[in-house]
A = this chain, B = another copy of it.
């Protein structure tokens, strides 16, 4: 697809970014609407945010990713303000004794693709055009930075009450474990700053161009919606995607456990899929789409997105309700995730499925 490089973010860009972020959130990453409001407010108060190509940054530049951690279902009820979101960044800067030169999106998922924009605006810093996942994933070690041996720590977590933690661990999986239990203790959601990295490392380790991609996806969805067309056809063409299933939400089983929103969602086929059914399983994000006999249609790390059948609006796992008419759309993941190390981090076996990874284009060839 043609992606227009995003160079500056005005409030008028936030609708597209939130839409694209929700799409790449693959059901997780939190409700983009909240992050959009936070970012719009911060840009109005502090001016637009500059988007920088990582390759233009100094090798010694300090880049700090910021995000929310926790179950999106909880985030919905625990709206952070811009100050809280910036507190984790400030606390990590204070701990390091250095100030950040740019902020970064750890994941291209809804809330976490927009909150860093709010933080960047409030701090007067640029945001790097890239992310660590090329989508959203439920755990914090699941980033390209881990594949490139960058440390998640020192990491700061902060809650709205004024509690904060500085975490130092021996590996990124341990960081995830400590941060996850602390997130639960913080009421289910926390603001975090982690993976502080130098320009030279970021140039090698990040997935480049994500902010521009998000904006372009959002623009396509919006343009198609305005033309009263479902954007699935256009997205499919532009992104090498797969229309996997069309159906009605028949059953949703959702629970918040261990700081995650876990569950399953069953769809009964409509239109071309009349008579068939599939099940989607999620842990914050959609992980696998299967037929009743267990045969997979798509699996992590490939992207599984749920879109409203009429409007093409991306639907997050916490928004799914009985009766929703939806399209399941699949997208190949960033090639880095298909490596041995990548699949160890985010492949089906990590999530407990006794399945070898099969690319979406093989399953739907």
Residues of A in contact with B (beta carbons under 8 Å apart): 95, 161-170, 174, 177-178, 181-182, 184-185
Q: In the complex, which residues of chain B have a beta carbon less than 8 angstroms from the beta carbon of A181?
A: 181-182, 184-185
Q: Which residues of B contact A164 (CB under 8 A)?
A: 167-169
Task: Provide the residues of chain B in CB contact with A162, threshold 8 Å.
Answer: 169-170
Q: What are 8 residue pairs bridging A and B, where the CB atoms are less than 8 Å apart in the complex?
A: A161-B170, A163-B168, A163-B174, A165-B165, A165-B167, A177-B185, A181-B181, A181-B185
Q: Considering the chains assembled together, what is the distance between the CA atoms of A177 and B164 in angstroms?
A: 13
* Shortest Cβ distance from residue A222 to the other chain B in the assembled complex, whole angstroms: 43
Q: How many copies of the shown chain assemble into the complex? A: 2
Per the bound structure, the CA–CA distance linking A337 and B362 in Å amounts to 69
Within the assembled complex, what's the spacing in Å between the Cα atoms of A177 and B184?
11
- By a CB distance below 8 angstroms, the chain B residues around A174 are 161, 163
A95 to chain B: which residues have CB within 8 Å? 166
Asked if A178 contacts B182 (CB within 8 A), the reply is yes
Question: Do B185 and A163 touch across chains, with their CB atoms under 8 A apart?
Answer: no
Return chain B residues, CB-CB under 8 Å to A161.
170, 174
Q: Which residues of B contact A169 (CB under 8 A)?
A: 162-164
A184: chain B residues within 8 A (beta carbon): 181
- Nearest Cβ distance between residue A328 and chain B, in whole angstroms? 36
Cα A167 to Cα B164 in complex, Å, equals 6
Distance of A162 Cα from B182 Cα, bound (Å): 18
Q: Complex Cα distance A163/B174, Å?
A: 8
- Tell me the complex Cα distance, A170–B163, Å: 6
The smallest beta-carbon distance between A257 and chain B, in angstroms, is 15
Task: Give the residue among A95, A161, A182, A184 with the most B Cβ atoms within 10 A.
Answer: A182
In angstroms, Cα B168 to Cα A182, docked, is: 12
Q: List 9 other contacts, CB 8 Å, given A165-B165, A178-B185.
A: A95-B166, A161-B174, A163-B167, A163-B169, A163-B174, A165-B168, A177-B185, A181-B181, A181-B185
Question: Contacts of A178 on B, CB cut-off 8 Å?
Answer: 163, 165, 182, 185
Chain B residue nearest in CB terms to A155 = B165
Residues from chain B with a CB closer than 8 A to the CB of A177 are 185
A189 shortest CB reach to chain B, Å: 15
How long is the Cα–Cα vector from A174 to B159 in the complex, in angstroms?
12
CB distance from A185 to the nearest CB of B (A): 5
Closest to A174 in B: B163
Q: Tell me how far the C-beta of A187 lies from the nearest C-beta in chain B, rounded to whole angstroms.
A: 11
A62 shortest CB reach to chain B, Å? 20
* CA distance in complex: A184, B166 (Å): 17
Q: Which residue of B lies closest to A91 (CB)?
A: B168
Bound-state CA distance A287–B164 (Å) is 32
A163: chain B residues within 8 A (beta carbon)? 167-170, 174, 178
Q: Which residues of B contact A167 (CB under 8 A)?
A: 163-165
